[in-house]
Chain A
């Protein structure tokens, strides 16, 4: 298979002027050199996209996705590097380009399609298909200014998507119309894909990337950060995003972490630096540390919904106890809805009472939680209910999910159809 798009060492930067000279007078009067900063937007990007491949471009705002798409469309030109595209390119960067409000729907179809470079014959061949797709049969001879904005967008999208280019570049325009129309658009894109058209899609809807694309490219600060199978790239990307969020939100949490570790070393310190309102008990048994571990047994506060988790509770027994203590854990959502709670007694776990200083492990093979933030409570008490140490919200963690399901618990499930 041939390469439909090949890009080599593409570079593009924008000049950001301190003060932009806009007129001739200013330009002429300005003797000193213009002050500007060169901001690289696309920085040394190379990739090849095969014919018939569908690629999703993901990345944060300002990562250069749209600029890259504009470069591919030849709206802007690269500072250096090469772009080679085989076949006719159509880009859906803007819907309804050249639409005139006083013209009828059908006239605007001709106008708009001709901007994409179609000849009259080609447009006439497709016009019925376009009208049908837009579901605007009744209104097609009315001026576009009488359309609702949804109808307008439908007509625009219908025209653009039916141009049938060899290479289609799509920028965030899938969010058009109602749910049923959106499905239709996605189906149309799937159809194009089946016709071996090459498609590059910029979107923030990662579900679409995973479901439709053969490959995903993650751009970060103008460079390719990851390029590979969509599921993998999207996961990495989501993880990165969540990590960024976490580090922004809990700059203080890191300090807390350090305090806890320090505590472990100086166990004799009676004074606890943790928020006492969230902790109470006689400290006959003291919980000295709580950790959430990932499957590699390293500390982690970010988990995928399918990941396993081990909660480790460090404890010290400070007084001689008459009976076996009970350790408990509970997981809550951010808004304090209890997801699950259990303890060693309920689970009939035999705690080794000879250990005076140890770590208890609570292993969850798969979290199966929906995306969101969760907090962990741990506690230790005796059988009569006397609390030794109760830590509320001692640990927060975030779950990210590939699927956009709702609720709290991700029930294992499958769908089946039976013909009757």
Chain B
């Protein structure tokens, strides 16, 4: 695995170019261009706010900010992993004809997604200003939580993208999985709303602690639980190790399978 990382580092220029290409082509030819990056989560936010706050009477102060702080990292996870699941298949032209460390492909999409996420934070900050929520020192935890999430996402990406080469059903399975996963993660509701007897089951969801950490630093203005960070870290590493292992096993036959 160390050799792989070294190889990826050697191709860092390619990685950089792929990330730039990803970001630049995302909204090419659209009138609003980059603004869509911001508009997308804002529109989603408005819809969810209406649905949960106005219709379902979610009783929380500044609910929009709570929702936003959890929704953005979730969107990051969901879009990147969905894209990455078919990234090897979609780039078969490259994979079949040129040697390069294939890990670069999912990694580039992950990093592009992370940059996109960072840009979306502008919208969150505007919302925080609007609702008079204080920016606290606990925000310094943000890079750490983001890094953990990136590693977690990269792990899932490696896992799904490699299996998808052999079984194209994976991309369909992943989209269904994400729908269920979204509702089983405390994003539009706090964990405290979950009945006590089910709460321990949420420990099994790798995204629970991650989301709570994000909500802690943005919405509650508190430092995240150390235990939560450690659990997220463990999930991220497990995902990355498993993903790398499977990817390495399967990558040798990509050019033949595609």
Q: Interface on A for B, CB 8 Å cutoff?
A: 14, 22-25, 27, 70, 73-77, 89, 91, 93-94, 97-98, 100, 102-103, 110-111, 114-120, 123
Contact = CB atoms under 8 A, between A and B. Distances in A.
Contact of B17 (A25, A27, A70, A114): A114
A259 to B, nearest CB: 51
Contacts of A119: 12-13
B167 A97 contact: no
Contacts of A70: 255
Given A75-B96, A76-B255, A98-B94, A23 B167 contact: yes
B248 to A, nearest CB: 12
A27 B167 CA distance: 9
B30 to A, nearest CB: 12
Interface stretch (B78-86, B97-105, B222-230): B97-105
18 contacts: A23-B167, A24-B169, A25-B169, A73-B98, A73-B99, A93-B98, A94-B96, A94-B97, A98-B18, A100-B21, A103-B24, A114-B14, A114-B17, A115-B98, A115-B100, A119-B13, A120-B16, A123-B13
Contacts of A110: 13, 17
Prevailing SS type, chain A contact patch: loop
Contacts of A77: 252-253
Contacts of A98: 17-18, 94
B13 A75 contact: no
Q: 9 smallest A-B Cβ distances: which pairs?
A: A94-B97, A114-B13, A114-B14, A24-B167, A24-B169, A77-B252, A75-B255, A93-B97, A76-B255
B57 interface: no
Given A70-B255, A76-B255, A76-B256, A120 B98 contact: no
A118 B97 contact: no
Nearest to B256: A76
Interface string B1-30: 000000000111110111001001100110
**Interface band, chain B:** 20 to 34
A102 B26 CA distance: 12
Interface in B237-258: 252-253, 255-256
B214 to A, nearest CB: 34
A230 to B, nearest CB: 27
B93 interface: yes
A115 B17 CA distance: 9
B168 interface: yes
Nearest to B100: A115
A100 B28 CA distance: 12
A91 B96 CA distance: 12
Contacts of B253: 76-77
A94 B13 CA distance: 20
